[in-house]
Amino acid sequence: MGEPCAVIGVGQTEYRTKRTDVSIAGLVREAALRALEDAGLTFKDIDAVVIGKAPDLFEGVMMPEAYLADALGARGKPMIRVHTAGSVGGSTALVAASLVQAGVHDRVLVVAWEKQSESNATWALSTHPPLSPTIVVGAGGYFAPHIRAYMRRTGAPDHIGTLVAVKDRQNALKNPYAHLRIPGISREMVESTPMLWEPIRYLETCPSSDGAAAMVLASESAARRAPNPPAWVHGTAMRSEPIFFAGRDTVSPQAGKDCAADVYRQAGITDPRRELDCAEVYVPFSWYEPMWLENLGFCGEGEGWKLTESGATGLDGDIPWNASGGVLSSNPIGASGLIRFAEAALQVRGLAGEHQVEGARRALGHAYGGGAQFYAMWVVGSDRP
Amino acid sequence: MSRDVAVVAFAQTKHTGEDAGLTEVELLAPVITEIKQATGLNRFGFTCSGSLDYLAGAPFSFVSALDTVGAWPPISESHVEMDGAWALYEAWARLRHGDVDTALVYGFGKSTQGSLRELMTLQLDPYYLAPLGPDQVSLAALQARAFLDAGHKEDDLRAVAARSRAAGRANPYALDLPDPADEGYEVAPLRPHDCAPITDGAAAVVLAAGDRARELSERPAWIRGIDHRIEAHSLGARDLSRSESAALAAERAGARDVEVAELHAQFSHEELMLREAIGLADGVRVNPSGGPLAANPVMATGLIRIGEAASWIHRGEARRTLGHAASGPCLQHNLVCVLEA
């Protein structure tokens, strides 16, 4: 793991369908300035900038770090652009952490963003490259069959996805940055919405959001001087596997299991449900909560939906998942992973506001991408490891 | 942590100036196989790549590229939407943590699929610059003019192109391009031979730390300094006649006393500007491979510079060399890597 690393600043924009009040540069700068304010720093104090987002085709700006260097105070500094599909927000945080853990820098600004209103993500995901198969269904069409396979494999009843959709939106009502804040959200409301990709209903899917999130990551000496409590990095891991091959388990991919095992080993965790206080997990479609509960080892195989049904993952349950409202409530795609990592940090810093999990001291941040084949995770804690 | 990290192996395609009928994955696969055979390694502690979705006009170039690596069981892997040289930088940092000893780095690009010159316009400020449609060569010409106005001659540019093309003809991996002829301007003051050719290709590097590097290579090329810096995006906010970010990166990387330098100069004047910025003495051999003016597989070109610079050390023909990579319009972003026997 190298040198110690801590989160000393977190900044988020309001997540909305359209942020027409700001340019792309204005959007990322808003998040960056809030993270710097939290850390008691200015751009001058930052050694390097790491930026991440999902495919450039989403906004039509190619290699946008070139254009965003000025807005993020990167002139005269190193700047890196990360891209690992939907997991990119998580990977971006890990690359920034790696620079601190390698002893290269003391303070790294990490920013991830998406401005979905500038374009159409489903269109950008459905191109016809020559000589390659094309999916042409966007993300929902791709993941729905995997959810069906999960339901068939475990015998999960139909209403489990609905429960997650309601729970995460109830949490979102406590998060001022959340995009979907639906007063009176209920099972009846979710069940009355149209079926988009069987079994995923409209309110069981994530929104398309504009937004950015940022963090300041610091070395131990820099963290000791931060005005607010730090979140210490207890473990980091990335895993990837190929998208198509015979025998691949797309419901509970091996890369997710391996990534979790790696990050738990570093953090000294053997029973994640008991030893973690909360988790921010990438759940873009409601059913991915029970699926990831199993993949991440919070319960045995086939037990995920029972855990969800029992209320264990609610804000008042024994292992709250996505107290922030999660990806189901805010989805600026490239930033969604970083938001998970940042919300995990806010929880263990005790700065999560109304959606604070009482006494949270250790939390998991998780992101996945591509055909559920790219994973990025970290465990953060209140105590220095 | 300050573990020493070295380049222990380098492989590249025989780059082509025309579409050879291969997909990006097919370009890359033989290079990955070659470097695995050369090192005897089939698994790596970390893997990182650089590529550009817009070259294929589709998202996720790196997803199918993963098939060439053999990512099963799953691997620890990341990707930058930048030249492979930045993937190398990320991998170098990762190896310094101390828990893994080897890293595979690769970059690939198939520029013949589209119009690179116009494609690069999409990299500009989307509100104030891209809508005006300035293409890559025209922007480079603005910089070339600023450089010439600062006291250089067009003949200096031709000399760079002539030397690069001759060196490229002697390099089996580079294109066979004729001596500069008396052509008109592409965009004044740049002539066609002053501009890097459209090229398809891929490259891979293996990094290793400490004793593992000594096991894998008779003469590891140790990374003694590596740094990169970005500067203002707006051309109007910069002194285009010089490269401040290259000078800063060179200083931070300790770019002194090198015998060979491989520079990511996609236009003749960029080589001369970079020589000045990095502070290369007259005796330094610059781009003995022919450099980007002889083969420019975008997203691998910068990584190849580091690989070529390392090869001099691997062969025992140099003691201290330098590889450079650039990104952004008019050398906005520069990376300098100093290697030593």
Q: Which pLDDT belongs to residue B64? A: 86
Residue in B with minimal Cα distance to A125:
B59
Amino acid at B190: L
Q: Return the CA Rg of chain A.
A: 19
Residues of B in contact with A68 (CB under 8 A): 233
Token output for A70: 């000025």
Residues in Cβ contact with B8 at an 8 Å cutoff, skipping those fewer than 6 apart? B39, B206, B207, B208, B213, B216, B217, B220, B221
- How many angstroms away from the CA of B30 is the closest CA of chain A? 18
The string of DSSP letters for A250-305 reads SSS-HHHHHHHHHHHHHHT-S-HHHH-SEEE---SBTTHHHHHHHHTTSS-TT-HH
Q: How many CB atoms lie within 10 A of CB A203?
A: 23
Helix axis angle for A138-154 and A288-295, nearest 10°, is 60
Average pLDDT value for chain B = 96
Q: Give the pLDDT band (50/70/90) at residue B14.
A: very high
On the question of pLDDT at A153 being above 80, the answer is yes
Q: Which pLDDT belongs to residue A120? A: 79
Q: How far apart (Å, rounded) are the C-alpha atoms in residues B318 and B221?
A: 10
Question: Can you tell me the mean pLDDT for B276-302?
Answer: 98
Q: Are A70 and A32 in contact (CB under 8 A)?
A: no
Residue in A with minimal Cα distance to B125:
A67
B62 near A CB under 8 A: yes
Q: Which pLDDT belongs to residue A32? A: 98
- Report pLDDT digits (tens) over B222-263: 999 999 999 999 999 999 999 999 999 999 999 999 999 999
Is B231–A69 a contact, with Cβ atoms under 8 angstroms apart? Answer: yes
Is B229–A77 a contact, with Cβ atoms under 8 angstroms apart? Answer: yes
Q: How far apart (Å, rounded) are the C-alpha atoms in residues A81 and A96?
A: 10
Token output for A14: 């309001």
Residues of A in contact with B77 (CB under 8 A): 238-240, 374
Is B58–A57 a contact, with Cβ atoms under 8 angstroms apart? Answer: yes
Q: What is the DSSP letter of A356?
A: P
Q: Are A257 and A377 in contact (CB under 8 A)?
A: no
Strand partners, B335: B228, B325
Q: Are B37 and B226 in contact (CB under 8 A)?
A: no
Residue in A with minimal Cα distance to B248:
A76
Q: How many CB atoms lie within 10 A of CB A221?
A: 10
Q: What percent of chain A has pLDDT over 90?
A: 91
Contacts A–B by Cβ distance under 8 A: 190
- Report pLDDT digits (tens) over A221-249: 999 999 999 999 999 999 999 988 999 99
Residue in B with minimal Cα distance to A70:
B232
Name the residue among A2, A70, A85 with its Cβ closest to that of B232. Answer: A70
On the question of pLDDT at B206 being above 60, the answer is yes
Residues of B in contact with A65 (CB under 8 A): 82, 230, 333
Domains, chain A, in order of start with CATH, read 6-121+209-224 (3.40.47.10), 131-204+235-381 (3.40.47.10)
Q: Give the pLDDT band (50/70/90) at residue B1.
A: very low
On the question of pLDDT at A296 being above 60, the answer is yes
Is A76–B248 a contact, with Cβ atoms under 8 angstroms apart? Answer: yes
Q: Which pLDDT belongs to residue B128? A: 94
% helix, strand, coil for chain B, step of 5: 40, 20, 40
Name the residue among A84, A241, A371 with its Cβ closest to that of B74. Answer: A241
- Report pLDDT digits (tens) over A299-335: 999 999 999 999 999 999 999 999 999 999 999 999 9
- Tally the C-alpha atoms within 13 A of residue A242's C-alpha that lie toward its C-beta: 16
Strand partners, A202: none
Q: Which pLDDT belongs to residue A127? A: 67
Look-up of token digits 């855990």: A307
Least confident of A125-134, A353-362, B146-155: A125-134
B23 near A CB under 8 A: yes
Residues of A in contact with B99 (CB under 8 A): 1-2
On the question of pLDDT at A121 being above 90, the answer is no
B311 near A CB under 8 A: no
Question: Can you tell me the mean pLDDT for A202-207?
Answer: 97
Domains, chain B, in order of start with CATH, read 5-115+198-216 (3.40.47.10), 129-197+222-340 (3.40.47.10)
The string of DSSP letters for A184-199 reads T--HHHHHTSPEEETT
B170 near A CB under 8 A: no
Q: Which pLDDT belongs to residue A132? A: 61
Residues of A in contact with B248 (CB under 8 A): 76
Question: Can you tell me the mean pLDDT for A48-60?
Answer: 94
Q: Which pLDDT belongs to residue A136? A: 58
Closest to B272 (Cα-Cα) out of B303, B293, B251: B293
- Report pLDDT digits (tens) over B127-173: 999 999 999 999 999 999 999 999 999 999 999 999 999 999 999 99
Strand spans (E) along A340-385: 362-369, 374-381
Q: How many CB atoms lie within 10 A of CB A137?
A: 15
Q: How far apart (Å, rounded) are the C-alpha atoms in residues B231 and B254?
A: 19
Closest to B74 (Cα-Cα) out of A266, A377, A238: A238
C-alpha distances out from residue A136 to A117, A121, A125, A264, Å:
20, 12, 7, 36
Q: How far apart (Å, rounded) are the C-alpha atoms in residues A139 and A131?
A: 21
Amino acid at B114: G
% helix, strand, coil for chain A, step of 5: 40, 20, 40
Q: How many CB atoms lie within 10 A of CB B118?
A: 12
